[in-house]
Amino acid sequence: MATKPVVVYGASGYTGRLICEYLREYNVPFVAAGRDAAKLKQSMQENVAGIETADYEIAEVGHDRKELTDLFAGASVVCNTVGPFSVYGPEVVEACLAAGTHYLDTTGEQDWMITCDERYGADFAAAGLLLAPGIAQMYTTGEIAAELCLEKPGLDTLDIAVFWGGSPTIASTLTILVNAATSGAFRLEQNRYEAWDPEAGLYQLVLPGQHELALALPWGGTSHPVWYRRDPRVANVKVLGGVFNRALMNGVPQIVASAVEATKDMNPDDRYAALTATAAQVMNQMPPRENPRLNKSVDSVHASGPLGRAHCVIYGNSNYKQTGLMQAYAAYHLLQQPPRRVGFASGCQAFGHRELLGVLESFGLVREPTVTVER
């Protein structure tokens, strides 16, 4: 049973360590949990700045619903970073529901988002608990930009671009491959999911702040179409994203296509093992700690309606730090007052887009948004 109010599950990973770092800055006691206590201890001591002043404990736990339920009992919030979430998420969500804790994660897997919405959302709402998958820079910062546009009434279409500098982590590389091999990618058209063409390859985008066209992919469809599917203001959502490194972007479709083709006839267990091996060949070590001069982010949203237009750009840095901060702030918030919405909800729906923007600005991770409204 947890003796601290927040559990960070997968705390030894790249994003988990950053969540712990920001929980320390908010003076929130936490449990750093995972499958290997020695690895957790080493990760906390070597990779979490200021850990010697944090109020925390380490918990080794098996990835099993009962073990996780026993650990989560006594806690108020669980921050889950263990992916692929479509593979490992159900046990954690079910344990949170059984233990009576709020659930947050960093996913961008659209199929997992849909599962959370359709399979677990009503049960969490009935229990007065928040189920908020996808609180992360690649999704929530773009959602903040979208919400700033939607402050102008009458806009029903969102065209979202999300870009960042840096390399994917070990876990996110595996997640990309598993997601591509086992599920489709959807945009929202007139409140219905419509599939992206998996054979379309790279898209070219005009990205604010640069002359060169940017290369983009649907990136699994992302979270936004799921969040906005039941929003009466919005009927259409499409999202494209990528990294600024063109060489890396040019290589992603080939890597994914090769992995999908090589594993298409395998049973689920063999396919997952093969995809894990491929991911390890692409990325088998933690990326370095982010440098704001190198690890920049751009979130751009064009919103339109029959008679109106708005455009919002948020320039930022250190996308993984943005993720760690928003996760820690969400937990900090939930320890003090209920969310704006229970059950399945996005970060902005649960905590407010201007509140989350203020948090990111206060830590110097984004600049003031540039919003242009055609009146």
User: Among 4-13, 180-189, 209-218, which range has the highest average pLDDT?
Assistant: 4-13
- pLDDT category of residue 48 using cuts at 50, 70 and 90: very high
Mean pLDDT of the chain: 91
pLDDT of residue 282: 57
**Per-residue pLDDT, 166:** 73
Over residues 10-21, mean pLDDT: 96
- What pLDDT sits at residue 165? 87
Say if CB 237 and CB 192 are below 8 A apart: no
Question: If you average pLDDT over each of 111-125, 254-268, 269-283, which comes out highest?
Answer: 111-125
Do 4 and 12 touch, CB atoms closer than 8 A? no
Pick the range with the lowest mean pLDDT from 32-36, 68-72, 208-212, 231-235. Answer: 208-212
- With a pLDDT cut of 90, the percent of the chain lying above it is 77
**Confidence at 184, pLDDT banded by 50, 70, 90:** confident
pLDDT cut 70: percent of the chain above it: 89
pLDDT band at 254 (very low <50, low <70, confident <90, very high): confident
The answer, yes or no, to whether residue 35 has pLDDT greater than 70, is: yes
Q: Which pLDDT score, from 0 to 100, does residue 275 have?
A: 65
109-137: average pLDDT: 97
Name the pTM for this structure. 0.93
Q: How confident is the model at residue 177 (pLDDT cuts 50, 70, 90)?
A: low
What pLDDT, on a 0 to 100 scale, did the predictor assign at position 148? 98
Summarize the confidence of residues 180-200 as an average pLDDT.
85
Q: pLDDT digit string (tens) for 129-154?
A: 999 999 999 999 999 999 999 999 99
Residue 164 has pLDDT above 60, yes or no: yes
Q: Model confidence at 277, in pLDDT bands (50, 70, 90)? A: low
More confident residue, 301 or 174: 301
Query: Which tops the pLDDT comparison, 284 or 166?
Result: 166
